Structure 1
Amino acid sequence: MKKVVVLSESGELKKTFLSLENHYICEVITFNYEQSHVFETLLSDDESLVLLSIANWENFKNFFDVHRMKINGTVVLVGDNESLNSSALKKLCEVDRFLKGVINTSLDFDMNRPWFNLLINPQVSSIDQEDLEEVGENLERVLGTALNELKRLKEVHEKLVPIREEKFKGLSATSKFGAGESAGGEFFDILSNDREVLLLLARSRSYLVSSMIMSGFDELRSAKHFSDELVNNFLSKVQSDVDSSKVNESKRKLDILFLRVDLKTMKARTWKSGDSILLNDSQLVSESEFTIERGEKLMILSSGLVENQPGKTELVSKSVEKRSKSCRDILDEVFYTLKREKNGMFFSHDATMIIFEVDKNAILQI
């Protein structure tokens, strides 16, 4: 609800502006200039409308000079014909862009309505009820159609692309993704050449940040070797781009996992920031370098996945419990666990799980 803060010399404007509550969705608070120290929080509210009486110019000016920088709301001066006919006021309006307007109380109150229509939200009751009901019905129909279409597309997507499978020399990658409601989201991709496989799993809180990561990752596709230097340069550039962007500070957080696997030795190297979880042969991976043995699975649970209910502990436990099953069965079990806790059409957060499995008969270089 909009707050209208009225300051005057001795409450002379109280009766004038209290009637605003009858016409607008607002709360009118009136007090004298000498009481302003008690109501400083109201003055600092950037959503408030602050009406300042200039009936006594000296008292107004003393108050305004002291509190000007503390007022974050919209400031409008109020006076009658006599007080508005002032060279000091004209000068102030010329030089101070902090002021947004002047209201003349000598005019009939309704003559100032355009000001308040602009500065305060009009009451819903002033809108024709039949028109309002018709708009509501139309919105219901549009929203219902959109949600049904979205649900249908989701169902089609899950049927057509339930699980993604990729084969490399001696190594397979099986993955599943579930969409969440939060902004930004997760995405992953796998690049490969004759010698190596490179996985990027990333999560951001902003679509702009996501586009920065994907753009940079596309540049890696032409690389003949996924060296440490190449990955480190990528990470540095992405962080620099994010830091220099106009993305809100709260949305700059990045969860990034790079995993490189040497197809000749199955030695893996990771670069990790964030809360994704790696389980190698069901053991939590804490080192940046390790080996995936023949017949073993490396399970990767994204940070978004483990933030969904029923939570990290149960999801990790379920993954370990089903480790002897096929990769597809493990994914189905974990996502079934997620779906049991899902309240709506989507998960709370994007959820990704990827399982790498080394072939039992893979010929490895020692």
Structure 2
Amino acid sequence: MKKIVVVSCEDEIKKYFSSLENNYICEVIPFNYEQSHVFENLLSDDEALIILSIRKWEVFKSFLDNNRMRINGTIVIAGVSTELDQKVVKDLCKVDRFIKGVINTDLDIELNYPWFNLLVNPTFSGIDQDELEVVGANIDTIVSSAIVELERLKTIHEKLVPIREEKFKGLSAISKFGAGESAGGEFFDVLSNDKEVLMLVARSRSYLVSSMIMGQFDELRSVQNFNNDKITEYIENVQNEIAQAKLKEEKRKLDLLFVRIDLKTMKGQVWRSGGSLLLNDGKVVTEESFTLNRSSKLMVLSSGLLENSPGKEALISTAVEKKSETSREILNEVFYTLRNEKKGMFFSHDATMLVFEVDKNAILQI
């Protein structure tokens, strides 16, 4: 399925291109320029169509200059007539051979369908059979070399950047992520202030839903307190945005896990939908609240991780058996178990695991 990546400043062209999914075999994936670091894999996809808004010229130009050599897909710029009718735009189109087209969003989307007939569903003239066989042999050689190189890079990556570590007042967090083959994927982040820590683990089955999760979560970064109302509002906003989107039913599924920990009392609250799991010192957390003691470990196993082989029970058993080990050793053992069952280069599903550990000398308010 063709991926159409729509990058804008404030979702100004998101709605315009969303209807393409009704007319082409494609997935429209919108996100804002400041979120681009999260979607680097889409930018590097040589089959993707990358549509860039020029609403804010400096933002667009900075993004293009910084990512030009990372983008392997087809680049098209988009804007209204007044935005396109500028000397800087014309000069760019004249000299920049990376840009393959211009779309005027003042026109009805149907008038731009000829573009998408070419870019999304291209047709090819006949090719001589002998030429086709030579091309096929060359592609096989390139693919074989690419697979070997990818394996080498993955091994180096796991050695160099296997784990993310963060430190808070009286609490530490360590996490690991493994990429899967399924669409959508998992996203996690940890926010904090002097009083509390807020963790989100989210899983979607669509890049569009992933973009919605990211967009709404960015707004939480600016709040002073992660109170119940803010988190409930976030969940409702995401659910409403998904409900209004033109998505197939199977693409609407969303797993969300919020955990908030008070750094003074080490008491936690949980908001959960989906199959993610919490283990407090090896015991499954089933309630909406929990308490951590000094040296306690809270393990977070994502729903994607638990759906990988060898399965939920085996992975939980591995984590519980290693609960007395260091947080790093627990992560390594669980991911070692996953890798032993892996049949291809990637897991079947994205896999995320975090371990929060209370300092043994933490001062806790009773």
Aligned pairs (5 A) from 1:170-319? 170-319=170-319
1:324 aligns to what SS in structure 2? Answer: coil
Counterparts of 2:154 and 2:239 in 1: how far apart (Å)? 33
Counterparts of 1:217 and 1:148 in 2: how far apart (Å)? 37
Would you say 1:137 and 2:137 are equivalent positions?
Answer: yes
Counterparts of 1:136 and 1:191 in 2: how far apart (Å)? 49
Query: What's the offset of the Cα at 1:128?
Result: 4.0
Letter in 1 for 2:336: Y
Query: What's the offset of the Cα at 1:135?
Result: 2.2
Query: What's the offset of the Cα at 1:178?
Result: 0.6
- CA distance change for structure 1 residues 208 and 146 in 2, over 3 Å: closer, same or farther? farther
**Deviations for 1:233-272, whole angstroms, at most 9, x for unmatched residues?**
0000000001111122111100110000000000000100
Letter in 2 for 1:235: I
Counterparts of 1:243 and 1:185 in 2: how far apart (Å)? 19
Q: Structure 1 stretches of 5 or more lacking a match?
A: 1-120
Counterparts of 1:351 and 1:138 in 2: how far apart (Å)? 35
**Deviations for 1:334-355, whole angstroms, at most 9, x for unmatched residues?**
1100110011111110101100
Letter in 2 for 1:131: E
Structure 1 residue aligned with 2:166? 166
Query: What's the offset of the Cα at 1:141?
Result: 2.8
Letter in 2 for 1:316: I
Aligned pairs (5 A) from 1:1-150? 128-150=128-150
Letter in 2 for 1:301: L
Letter in 1 for 2:210: S
Letter in 2 for 1:159: K
Counterparts of 2:326 and 2:365 in 1: how far apart (Å)? 26
Letter in 2 for 1:263: L
Counterparts of 2:344 and 2:226 in 1: how far apart (Å)? 40
Q: Which has the larger radius of gyration?
A: 1
Counterparts of 2:241 and 2:150 in 1: how far apart (Å)? 33
Comparing 356-365 with 153-162, greater Cα deviation is found at 153-162
Counterparts of 2:162 and 2:127 in 1: how far apart (Å)? 49
Counterparts of 1:157 and 1:241 in 2: how far apart (Å)? 35
Number of residue-to-residue matches in the alignment: 243
Structure 2 residue aligned with 1:4? none
Letter in 1 for 2:175: S
Q: Structure 2 stretches of 5 or more lacking a match?
A: 1-122
Comparing 163-172 with 243-252, greater Cα deviation is found at 243-252
Counterparts of 1:146 and 1:252 in 2: how far apart (Å)? 34
1:293 aligns to what SS in structure 2? Answer: coil
Q: TM-score, normalised by structure 2?
A: 0.64
Query: What's the offset of the Cα at 1:280?
Result: 0.5
Counterparts of 1:344 and 1:354 in 2: how far apart (Å)? 24
2:183 aligns to what SS in structure 1? Answer: coil
Letter in 2 for 1:221: R
1:309 aligns to what SS in structure 2? Answer: coil
Counterparts of 1:127 and 1:220 in 2: how far apart (Å)? 54
Counterparts of 1:324 and 1:140 in 2: how far apart (Å)? 48
Counterparts of 1:156 and 1:189 in 2: how far apart (Å)? 24
Structure 1 residue aligned with 2:153? 153
Counterparts of 2:166 and 2:209 in 1: how far apart (Å)? 27
1:219 aligns to what SS in structure 2? Answer: helix
Query: What's the offset of the Cα at 1:200?
Result: 0.5
CA RMSD of aligned residues (A): 1.7
Counterparts of 1:230 and 1:286 in 2: how far apart (Å)? 23
- CA distance change for structure 1 residues 338 and 209 in 2, over 3 Å: closer, same or farther? same
**Deviations for 1:162-182, whole angstroms, at most 9, x for unmatched residues?**
111111000010111111111
Counterparts of 2:183 and 2:195 in 1: how far apart (Å)? 36
Query: What's the offset of the Cα at 1:127?
Result: 6.4
Letter in 2 for 1:253: K
Counterparts of 1:328 and 1:166 in 2: how far apart (Å)? 12
2:220 aligns to what SS in structure 1? Answer: coil
Comparing 146-155 with 226-235, greater Cα deviation is found at 146-155
Structure 2 residue aligned with 1:347? 347
Counterparts of 1:314 and 1:347 in 2: how far apart (Å)? 16
Letter in 2 for 1:241: E
- CA distance change for structure 1 residues 343 and 301 in 2, over 3 Å: closer, same or farther? same
Would you say 1:356 and 2:321 are equivalent positions?
Answer: no
Counterparts of 1:209 and 1:299 in 2: how far apart (Å)? 26
Query: What's the offset of the Cα at 1:192?
Result: 0.2
Query: What's the offset of the Cα at 1:139?
Result: 2.0
Counterparts of 2:154 and 2:240 in 1: how far apart (Å)? 35
Q: TM-score, normalised by structure 1?
A: 0.64
Spell out structure 1 runs of 4+ moving beyond 4 A.
none
